Chain A
Amino acid sequence: AQTVTQSQPEMSVQEAETVTLSCTYDTSESDYYLFWYKQPPSRQMILVIRQEAYKQQNATENRFSVNFQKAAKSFSLKISDSQLGDAAMYFCAYRTGGDDKIIFGKGTRLHILP
């Protein structure tokens, strides 16, 4: 069965610094999609970034980028120039085209220190 593991329940970073959140997954599929979602205190789930497994190029969205290592089944999120508004819970998620279930990690709570 597919699993998603986020090994860091909580992290802290100084404002303006860079932080990396880790995510590993287990699958026997070759075609799948990976996501990072952000959940601020408002509780709203916000898509941060999406990666297609068949693409070797790492996805980027402004200050957010991923390091996708398919062979290692690793999908870490890098946040550059951290801002106070980045404080949130971050969830890594996995889905395949052939399975209807989407698997979420347990989340990493990120604190931004002013």
Chain B
Amino acid sequence: NAGVTQTPKFQVLKTGQSMTLQCAQDMNHEYMSWYRQDPGMGLRLIHYSVGAGITDQGEVPNGYNVSRSTTEDFPLRLLSAAPSQTSVYFCASSYAPSTGSRQYFGPGTRLTVT
């Protein structure tokens, strides 16, 4: 049981480049989400999904796209990277909110945009 995996662990981009952060879970969780963590800001929700084919925006969605074609995968796309997107990104998964389930987090991706 690998849990939640994220790739890459580190990434440096130039302004304007695009990239996809990968996230996968093998626990058959319905709920998956992406957060960014910035100093003094805690974890802020970017996008989330309650099941395959269903996604919705969180608190800070601008500049990011997601899709969920399978239960297991939930990639996060940066369309045109900006220095303001320099952050640590976490993917998380859990059972449905109605269960009050805890979240399982991936190891995070440190992204630097120059």
Query: Contact: A98 with B98, CB < 8 Å?
Result: yes
Over the window 36-59 of chain B, the binary record of Cβ atoms lying under 8 Å from chain A Cβ atoms (1 yes, 0 no) is 000011111100101000001011
Interface-side segment among A11-19, A60-68, A78-86, A102-110 = A102-110
Give the number of chain A interface residues (Cβ < 8 Å).
25
Query: Contact: B48 with A101, CB < 8 Å?
Result: yes
Contact (A100, B42) CB under 8 Å given A43-B88, A47-B102, A52-B100: no
Contact (A97, B98) CB under 8 Å given A43-B107, A44-B105, A102-B103: yes
Give the number of chain B interface residues (Cβ < 8 Å).
26
Over the window 89-103 of chain A, the binary record of Cβ atoms lying under 8 Å from chain B Cβ atoms (1 yes, 0 no) is 001010111111110
Which residues of A1-50 are within 8 A (CB) of B?
6, 9, 32-33, 35, 43-45, 47, 50
Residues in B with CB closer than 8 Å to A52 are 100
